[in-house]
Structure 1
Amino acid sequence: MDLKLKGKVAVLTGASVGIGLAVAHAFAAEGVNLVLAARQADRLDEAARQIATQHGVEVVPAACDVATAAGVDALVGAAEHAFGGADILFNNAGTGSNETILDAPDDKWQAYWDLHVMAAVRLARGLVPGMKRRGGGAILHNASICAVQPLGYEPIYNVTKAALMMFSKNLANELIGANIRVNTINPGLILTPDWIKTAKQLTEHTGGDWEGHLNAVAHEHAPIGRFASPEELADFIVFLCSERASYSVGATYFVDGGMLKTV
């Protein structure tokens, strides 16, 4: 299927590893030029080099922290300087948390709010004017199944991802008149390096069977009985950002192997 994406420009956050890196490769395979954001410059530069070499597209690395206004300004500036703006924005930067509501300090709540919500707000303000000049575009927010089905050990993550989902709905209503489609994706269990790192830590003193640990997690939570690869999720993300999904507006899509327990 021709997704009609060749020559488009996509801005991706959290793009040097895991889901973001897989999505970058998937977009590049469709001929999309990229502006990639992450905090670790060395890892980001290497990812950009590999993608450009493998797929023959232009890839601009922009090392920045999108949880800050200055970081967002730097990313928007990089897109404007290199390509005169962008057609696609994939808001992916984020991380899990671990706390209780009664013990978590204010600054931890604020840090996750800035990363999961304000980054998306600021990037919309920065990139949407350029999308309008280019005739429209697509914005996709990576929230989580935890936005509607929370895990008990990470209330801050749950709350801020739920807020991101509601922001996405409001932004969709505001921008569709400018031919800019906004949607949300709520992944379930995706086998990212963070999951593997955590599993190795948890099994370090009990035999080191981290794969068995992850298998148990998958069978406990997902009827499909396994984690998804980042590439499986990336395929769906690229489709949602293409003209083939032209009637998808303000929606939330669960890619979770059946993990969601409600209809």
Structure 2
Amino acid sequence: MDLNLRGKVAVLTGASVGIGLAVAEAFAAEGTHLLLVARNEERLSAAAAGIATKFGVTAVPVACDVSTSAGVDKLVAAAKENFGGADIVFNNAGTGSNETIMNAPDEKWLAYWDLHVMAAVRIARGLVPLMKARGGGTILNNASICATQPLGYEPIYNVTKAALMMLSKNMANEFIQDNIRVNTINPGLVLTPDWIKTARQLTQDSGGDWEGHLQQVADEHAPIRRFASPEELANFIVFLCSDKASYSVGSTYFVDGGMLRTV
């Protein structure tokens, strides 16, 4: 299926590894030019160079921290300078947490709020006018199944991802007048390097069977009994950002192998 994305410009945060990198490659395979954003400059530059060589698209790396106003300003300036704006935004930068409500300091709450919520707000303020000038576009916010079905060990992650889901709905209502569609994706278990790193750490004193540990997680949480690959999620994301999904506005999509326990 031709998704009519050739020559479009996509801004992707958290783009140097895991889901973000898989999404970058999926867009590039459609002929989409990329502004790739992450904090690790060396890894990001290598990813951008590899994508440009493999797919023949323009892939511009921008090393910055989107949880800060200065980082978002750098992102927006790079989009203007290199492409004159953007057609697609995938807000993907984020990370898990581990705390209880009673022991987490204010600073940790505020840091996750800036990363998961304010980054999307600030990026919208910077890029939506440029998208409007190009005739519209799409914004997709990567929340989590935890926005609806929380995991007990990460209340800050659960709360800020739920806020991102509500922000998406409000963005959708406000931006559709400018022909900008906004949706949310709530992944379940996706086999990212973070999951593998955590599994290795948890099993290092008990034989090191990190794959067995991840299988136990999948068996417990997902009826499909496995993790998704980042590429499986990326295929769905690219479709949602294309004109083939043109009537999708303000929706939340669970891509979770059946993990959500409600209808």
Q: So what's the TM-score if we normalise by structure 1?
A: 1.00
Aligned to 1:223: 223
Shift of 1:177: 1.1
* Cα distance in 2 between the residues matched to 1:137 and 1:69: 23
Cα deviation digits, residues 33-53 of structure 1 (max 9, x gap): 000000000000000000000
Runs (5+) with no aligned partner, structure 1: none
Q: Which residue of 1 aligns with 2:198?
A: 198
Distance 2:132 2:108 in 1: 35
Q: Aligned equivalents of 1:91 and 1:223: distance in 2?
A: 28
Residue correspondence of structure 1 range 1-263 to structure 2 within 5 A: 1-263=1-263
What letter is aligned with 2:119?
A
Give me the whole-angstrom Cα distance separating, in 1, the residues matched to 2:80 and 2:165. Answer: 27
The whole-number CA distance in structure 1 between the counterparts of 2:219 and 2:210 is 14
**Partners of 1:262 and 1:170 in 2: CA distance:** 23
Give the letter aligned to residue 36 of structure 1: L
Name the aligned partner's letter for residue 5 of structure 2: L
**1:51 aligned partner, one-letter code:** I
Deviation digits for residues 67-95 of structure 1 (CA, Å, limit 9, x no counterpart): 00000000011011000000000000000
Q: Which amino acid aligns with 1:255?
A: V
Q: Which amino acid aligns with 2:144?
A: S
Count of aligned residue pairs for this structure pair = 263
SS in 2 for 1:89: strand
Output the CA distance in 2 between the equivalents of 1:32 and 1:52: 11
Letter in 1 for 2:145: I
Q: Distance in 2 between matches of 1:121 and 1:111?
A: 15
CA distance in 1, matches of 2:140, 2:233: 13
- Aligned amino acid, residue 56 of structure 1: G
Report the Cα distance in structure 1 between the residues aligned to 2:110 and 2:232, rounded to whole angstroms: 32
Q: Say what the alpha-carbon RMSD is for the aligned residues.
A: 0.3
5+ residue gaps, structure 2, are none
AA at the equivalent of 2:204: E
- Consecutive aligned runs of 4 or more in structure 1 exceeding 4 Å deviation: none
Mapped to 2, the partners of 1:228 and 1:60 lie a distance apart of: 28
**1:106-149 residue CA offsets vs partner (Å, 9 max, x unmatched):** 00000000000000000000000000000000000000000000
Equivalent position amino acid for 1:101 in 2: I
CA distance in 2, matches of 1:19, 1:79: 21
Aligned counterparts of 1:36 and 1:79: Cα–Cα separation in 2: 10
Separation of aligned partners in 2, 1:59 and 1:207 = 42
Partner AA of 1:184 in structure 2: T
Q: Deviations over 1:1-33 (max 9, x none)?
A: 110000000000000000000000000000000
| Structure 1: distance between partners of 2:4 and 2:45 | 27
Amino acid at match of 1:232: E
